[in-house]
Amino acid sequence: MVRNVSAVISEIEQAEKILVCGHIMPDGDCISSVLSLYRGLSSLGKKVTPAVDWKIPSIYMGFPHTDKLVCYSPDLELPDLMIIVDSSSPDRIGGFQRVLKTHVRTVLIDHHKTNTYFGNVNWVSPNYSSTAQMVFRLMQVMDVNFDEELALLNYLGIATDTGFFRYSNVNSTVFEDVACLVKYGADPAYVARVILENKKLEEFYLERDALDNLKVSCSGKFAYSFLEKRNFDRYGLSEDEFSGFVSQLRSISTVEVALFASESFKGEAHVSLRSKSYFDVSEVAKAFGGGGHERAAGFTLTYDNDLQEALEEVIEYISERLEER
């Protein structure tokens, strides 16, 4: 067994009260990893609190136990151990960063290349498709019993972080592990339906607006677009409720790098970056204070005036590096 995995298990064994914490702007991998550990470690007799310091996007509410997820509160009863999943740096866990300043032991389980190793024990492995896959391996070693519900929760993260088994992070171990989860009762068609076929009509209107803002440059290699707060307001949707547009941009045949920015409120936008085969977008995200993977990364952009104006610097940064190749 990998040394870090033994260290993770030893921390878990020594703890009674465990807080399992995911990242802000949660995605499927985050919710899956938090809730799988919640279910799995509870079944071993631990007192587990699942936590994400953010509003949970409504599509995930179709999964069990999402109602148990707690946000940060100053009244939080400190656990013996905080397990942080799918989070590359302290800012990603929102208010739970405060727990890092206490005596509470911390374990990181993560697959981001840009991880800053901020836990007492850090099991960080970019070779894994998803944190959910690491959680699967961990719970197998710990002899956790996988029922249908746990299998479904665990499957969710592997499916979503691999773009439903399409991305370059897919290898044979992914299929081996999800084959086990499907045997245990996870329903791939249910997960695909809930995640992929659950769009609000207003999201299509937002996609139309995003298409209006689409620009392609660098001889077709770079596609980018954005949505401003007023676009979301027009259809009464919040930024969290929009599944994004960056993967559509990457699907253009000539495109290597795709960028999509969505304004949460005036002065702040989330920027999503994707690449297709060779450009390392995690380096760009890191340069602007974020992080991620080689083919999928992101960061928060803050600015005084206009989003489009603020994006120019990022666009120039990427274009220069793309033109070099």
Chain contacts with ligand 5GP (rule: CB under 6 A): 27, 88-89, 92, 272, 290-293, 296-300
Nearer to ligand 5GP by Cβ, of 11 and 161: the residue is 161
Stretch that binds Mn ion, among 19-27, 47-55, 118-126, 246-254 (CB under 5 A): 19-27
Interface positions, 75-94, toward Mn ion (CB under 5 A): 86
Stretch that binds Mn ion, among 2-10, 39-47, 126-134, 146-154 (CB under 5 A): 126-134
- Give whole-number Cα distances, 14 to 46, 99, 141, 142, 301, in Å: 10, 18, 16, 14, 40
Nearer to ligand 5GP by Cβ, of 125 and 272: the residue is 272
- Give whole-number Cα distances, 184 to 8, 22, 154, 163, 191, in Å: 24, 25, 11, 22, 15
Interhelix angle 148-161/172-184, nearest 10 degrees = 150
Q: Taking CB within 5 to 8 Å according to partner kind, which of ligand 5GP, Mn ion, none is near residue 52?
A: none
Q: Closest approach of Cβ 28 to ligand 5GP, in Å?
A: 10
User: Dihedral of the CA atoms 122, 123, 125, 129 (nearest 10)?
Assistant: -120
Q: Closest approach of Cβ 297 to ligand 5GP, in Å?
A: 4
Nearer to ligand 5GP by Cβ, of 4 and 300: the residue is 300
Cβ–Cβ < 8 Å for 111, 126 = yes
Nearer to Mn ion by Cβ, of 130 and 231: the residue is 130
Q: Taking CB within 5 to 8 Å according to partner kind, which of ligand 5GP, Mn ion, none is near residue 57?
A: none
- Reported as type and span, the H/E element at residue 246 is helix 246-250
Q: What share of the chain is helix, strand, coil (3-state, %, to 5)?
A: 45, 20, 35
Helices (H) and strands (E) in the chain, counts: 11, 11
CA distance 8 to 101: 20
- Residue of closest CB approach to ligand 5GP: 298
Q: Taking CB within 5 to 8 Å according to partner kind, which of ligand 5GP, Mn ion, none is near residue 300?
A: ligand 5GP
For binding to Mn ion (CB under 5 A), which residues are involved?
27, 29-30, 86, 130-131, 161
